[in-house]
Structures are given as C-alpha cells and as structure tokens.
Structure 1
Amino acid sequence: MVKRRVHVAAAAIISANGREVLIARRPSNVDHGGLWEFPGGKLAPYETGLGGLKRELHEELGVEIRRAQPLIRIYHEYSDKHILLDVWQVHDFSGEPFGREGQAVRWVPMADLVKYPFPAANLPILRAVMLPTEYLITPDEVDDAVFLERAERALDEDGIRLVQFRDKSLDASAYLARAARLLELCRRFDARLILNGDPELLEHLDADGIHLTSERLMSLERRPIAEGKWLAASTHDRQQLAQAARLGCDFVTLSPLRTTPTHPDTAPMGWHDFQQLVEHAAMPVFALGGMTRFDASHARAVGAQGIASIRDFWK
C-alpha cells in the first residue's frame, strides 16, 4: 500500500514572559482525538510552511503572526501515512487566542508539557520548546576558582541555561567534586547541567543528564539513563544521528561545521551539508564547530535548535 504524504505546519506560540507555550486539544472525532498538540494544520499544495501556518492560526485561534522563526522539522511515519511536521516558534502575535472551532486551548508552563499526552510525532517538539538556543561546553581548566568564576559569569551575565561539563584533564573524584559545585551554580540560575562521561555519573550526582561521546554513542544498544533525564550525544554524520534516534537521545550536537583550532585537520561540513543532515534528524540539533552568537540566526534558519560553543560562551 502506498502511504499518503501529509505536510503539516504547527506553532509553538510563546507567551510574553517567555515561560509558557500554547497547546490545543484535538477533537474526539479525529485521529489521536483527545490528545494535546501544538496548533496548526495541513497545508494546501500551493502553501509554504509559514504561509499555511498564518492561515491556520487565524482560522483556529483568531491570531495573526507578527514574528516567527523555524524551530524543527520532523518526519514521522504512521501505519497509513508519512507526516512532515514543519514547526515554527512564534514570538510575537496579535489577538487573544481562543478555540474558534470549539477546541480547548491552554497556556502551559514549559516544564509542565511532559504532563500532557501528545501524539508521538509531537514529542521532538516538546524537547525543542523546552531547550534553550545556546549550549555551553566547558573547557579544561586547572584552577577551580577561575572555572567557577567564569561559569557564574556565563550563567549570570550571558544568560546561559544549558551547560555541558566536559573536562578530560580531571580524574574521576576531581571531576565529581567540581561538577557538584557547578550544579549548585546552575540550580541558582535555573540552568540545566549535563555531564560528559559515563552514564553511571548520575548515580553519584543528581545532574540533569548525560552527554555521550560519539564513540560511546555507537557502542550502546539501548538508552543508558532514565527517561526523566536528558540524554545528549556528539554526532558527526548520518549514521551517528540515526543511532542517536534509536537510543532516544533528547538532543545532539553536530560537528564540525567549521574548521576549529582543536581539530585543524578535520574537514568541516559547512552549512549546506549541515542542513541536509539536520533535515532528517529526529531530535533537536545544536550546531558545533567554530560557532559564535553571530551564527545563531543562520543556524536556526537551516533547522538547528541553536549553537553550541566553548570559546564564544566562556570568557
């Protein structure tokens, strides 16, 4: 049987305070009736993603989009159809949203999204909505005081809310000791801390998740940590992205986008190849490799969740 292809545009509409997102309940007489979703609908053959989304939000919610940017594109296969979800993050709109077709709509704190039942195709959108657009990867640093001072500056002055603690120069006990102090800092600024190392680290420290190296990623057969923790991984090609999807990674980095001082002999993939890989990734992807804040908008435009960096976030 040839499966039909359906192109759907959806919106993650963010509240003015940046802490809540609008969701809607599907009518009981349609597929996945009673589940919650991000508002939107099917596109006509002649419509672009944003154009169709503007029409759908006006028809469904009575709002007009003023400013939006790509968030994530998701390909999902059901028993009878292929779905392309073209998801946009709406930052500015006019009108007060309400269910013009009788559907329930609700503003939900982002942290509470996991409490609502969504169709399977919507799950990567939840991750993308809950993640920030900047991912700090810490460098090797000998001095504890200097490390914590710079970490606090990144959290306080630069607004970093997602940190990967990566330091290959420390032994296991020193790593955990510094990680514990960094976790205290992250909690103070409502930021998430991801540990780079063995998943068993979470048995010793209640951080927010684990970031796998590409080597460890490819060696695993199943998700190594609980669903309640964030699982991230380093990826460099299509095979590693597919393995990350099989393990149920919540997000990944994809590199190197540009040549970097730490890997001068590694050929960069460039924006074109990066976009081709991200297009079919089944999770949010952070661009890594020579990235600065000046690249953030370009990265989002080609489908990335945002940028990951050491040098540009660690001053």
Structure 2
Amino acid sequence: MPSPSNHSTTCEKATVVNVAVAVIHYKEQYLLGFRNAAQHQGNRYEFVGGKIEASEDAKQAVIREVAEETGFAIHENTIVKLGRLHHDYGDKQVSLQVYKIELTAPQYEQHKHCQYGLEKQALTWVTKADLLVEKYDLPAANKTMLEWLKLPENITITYPLSHFDDHSDPAVAWLQCHQEKLTVAAWVYVRTKEAGTEKLIAQLTRARPDIHVIVPHHADSQFLGTDTHVVAHHLTHTALMQWFNDAQDAAMPDQGISSSHPLIVSCHDADSITAANKLARARLQQQLPPVVGSFLSPVLATQTHPDAVSLGWETWSALAQLSDIPIIGLGGLSPTLIDQAISYGGVSVAGIRQFLSSQKPKA
C-alpha cells in the first residue's frame, strides 16, 4: 500500500496482516531465518512463520508454514501458544499469533546442519542467551517475544510475612527462610502486603544477588537499591480490574502502574484475561515495557486459599487460550507439573512450598 500523502488531512488505515509465528527450538538452541533486502523489514533475522490463510486457524497456519519453510513436520510436537500481539510499522500493521515449538532430538539432529530452508532462505541456530541480549537484529515486533522468552519454567512465590507470626521477629525469620531455601538464580515473586516490603526485598537480594525478583507494581524503587535485580512488576487481580474499569480507551496512560519494568498480572477468569489483554495492547501502543505473563489461578486446590474454587486443568486451559500473553499456572502445583502445564497451554508454573529447596544453596 502506498504511504499516505503528507498533505492528506485524513489518515488511510494500513492493511493488517495476520501472521503465525513459530519460535522453534531444541533445548537452548533457537532457529532463525534471515530476510533478504527486498523483503519488508529486510536484512533482519526472524522466527519462522507466515500469513494465516482465510481457510485455516493460526495453529494450522504455523504447522503449514514450518513445513513449507523448513521441512519440519511438527503436527505431533507440543505447540504452545505464547501470545498475540499487534505492531504498526507505519506502512503495514501486523497481528502476530506466536507459538513455541520444541523439536525432538531426532528432528534437531536431522536438520541442525542445514544452512538454507526450503524457500532458499538462510537459516541459523543461535543460543537463547545470544538471542535474549539481542545479538541478532530482529524486526521491532519481535522485541516483545524476546521478553516472553525470558520467563523461566518455574517461579517461586515467597511466604507471606504472617506465616512467621509465631517467631519473635517475623521479618528476620522470613528473610532467613528465603535466603536459605530459594534455588540458585530463581525468579521470585515477593508477595508481602505489609509495610516495609522494599526493605525486605533489598535485604533478600543483597543476601542472594543471584535471584531475579518480581515486586509489587507500587513498590518504591527508591528504597529497593540499585543492585536489586528486578525483572518485572506485579499487578494484582484487584489492581488490574481497577485499571480496566477506569480505562476509557486502549491508549490511555497506565494510571499509577509502573512504566519502568515489564509487568506480570494476576487473572482468575475470562473478565480479568480480557482486562490483561487490553492492558498489554495499551502498553505496546505507548511503547512501554510489555506485559510478559499472567498468573492464572487457582489451577488446583491450595493450602493458602482452601476456600477458593479451583479451575481444574480443562477450564484453566480454555481460559489460557483467550490470553494474548504467556500463561503461568498457579495454585496447588509443583515444579514437576511443568510438562502438564505446557500440554494445557501454559509456559510456566509457580508456587510457594513445592518451589523452595529443602537444602541451602551452594555459595
């Protein structure tokens, strides 16, 4: 489509192209293609994918595109929906439905030395570490996908401070417990509602500089310390729905919501997923750090909230399919259930008791 004239008083709406994207990997090796100079966003690397035809859904399209471009038959592989996102390049708008596919060892061995795809495009395998530090130049729309890929399979949630009320100094007991039991390099959502949360977080990260913390969206960064490794801010279900109810349109500012870090939100039902989707799109439009994940809970019954009605895997999976952002299972889960969560449409699992190590981490 020709670019709108600078003298035009009306803006012609760009065509929206619906695309299925395949993030193909084998363990820590990820497959990238290279766009030639004549293509839109040429001379950049890209994930495998292409336009969704009118006769197919996004999952069918990603299976077809992968077969046409690489020869991989992935219809029997686990295909996990990461999310959906929209990006405006000015001359073209794209709506991307993104899937993550892990190859089997035989598939990888068969194709790991192939330098070109079936459409003569250059292919290369890159490490996840190099991919995430943006060593490879990807189209702008792919930046959010890289943020999604940073989510680990397991996220630990801290005990509430009230869990240690029988100790003479609950804060000291809380700190000692998590300092000793958090696994190495863990992602940790510090879920404390009491005043002084920032002080506790700063103390914990000084004692365990290897961990990556998710903090409440209202946490005061002034008191966290510059050495605190904050990877995301968390928005509770209540705060999310308050934002949604106050929002007049998708482009309005995030009233009081952190604009300095990616967000992880909490959802319990279809209404909150709708709110999360709207917030995710608004932040992309405002070029703010994206919403990178949603705790969808409770999957199963929990000791922490025994009266809460659990979703069950089937309902949880159906809700996950409505989400435009990666889904994290929460509620009655353990790290061993990650494969089950993936098979039902999630990318990660989170919890408290089962996610804390019984052994003190090595120095």
* Preserved CA contact (<8 Å) 1:110 1:130: no
Q: How big is the shift at 1:200?
A: 2.7
CA distance in 1, matches of 2:61, 2:188: 32
**Corresponding residue for residue 55 of structure 1:** 67
| Mapping 1:278-297, distance limit 5 Å | 278-297=320-339
Instruction: Give TM-score, length-normalised by structure 1.
Output: 0.76
Amino acid in structure 2 at the alignment position of 1:84:
Q
1:107 maps onto 2:126 in alignment: yes
CA distance in 2, matches of 1:165, 1:264: 21
| Residues matched between the structures, number | 298
Instruction: Give TM-score, length-normalised by structure 2.
Output: 0.68
1:153 maps onto 2:177 in alignment: no
Q: Which has the higher strand share?
A: 1
Please list the CA deviations of residues 119-141 of structure 1 after superposition, one character each: whole Å capped at 9, or x if unmatched: 42x34431232211111110024
**Corresponding residue for residue 100 of structure 2:** 87
| Mapping 1:1-315, distance limit 5 Å | 6=18, 8-14=20-26, 18=28, 21-41=30-50, 48=60, 51-52=63-64, 55-56=67-68, 58-59=70-71, 69-76=78-85, 83-90=96-103, 92=105, 93-94=108-109, 95-100=112-117, 101-103=120-122, 105=124, 107-108=126-127, 109-113=130-134, 116-120=137-141, 122-140=142-160, 141=164, 142=170, 144=172, 147-156=175-184, 161-168=186-193, 170-172=194-196, 175-188=197-210, 191-196=211-216, 198-201=218-221, 204-205=224-225, 206-208=228-230, 209-220=232-243, 221-222=253-254, 224-227=257-260, 229-236=261-268, 237-245=272-280, 246-247=282-283, 248-314=290-356, 315=358
CA distance in 2, matches of 1:192, 1:144: 20
Q: How big is the shift at 1:234?
A: 1.4
Amino acid in structure 1 at the alignment position of 2:354:
D
* Structure ID, larger Rg: 2
Q: How big is the shift at 1:214?
A: 1.8
Amino acid in structure 1 at the alignment position of 2:67:
R
Q: How big is the shift at 1:152?
A: 3.7
Identity across matched positions, percent = 19
CA distance in 1, matches of 2:47, 2:177: 40
CA distance in 2, matches of 1:114, 1:288: 33
* Preserved CA contact (<8 Å) 1:75 1:84: yes
* Preserved CA contact (<8 Å) 1:69 1:89: yes
* Preserved CA contact (<8 Å) 1:217 1:243: no
RMSD: 3.6
Query: 1:250 is paired with a residue of what secondary structure?
Result: strand
* Preserved CA contact (<8 Å) 1:134 1:308: yes
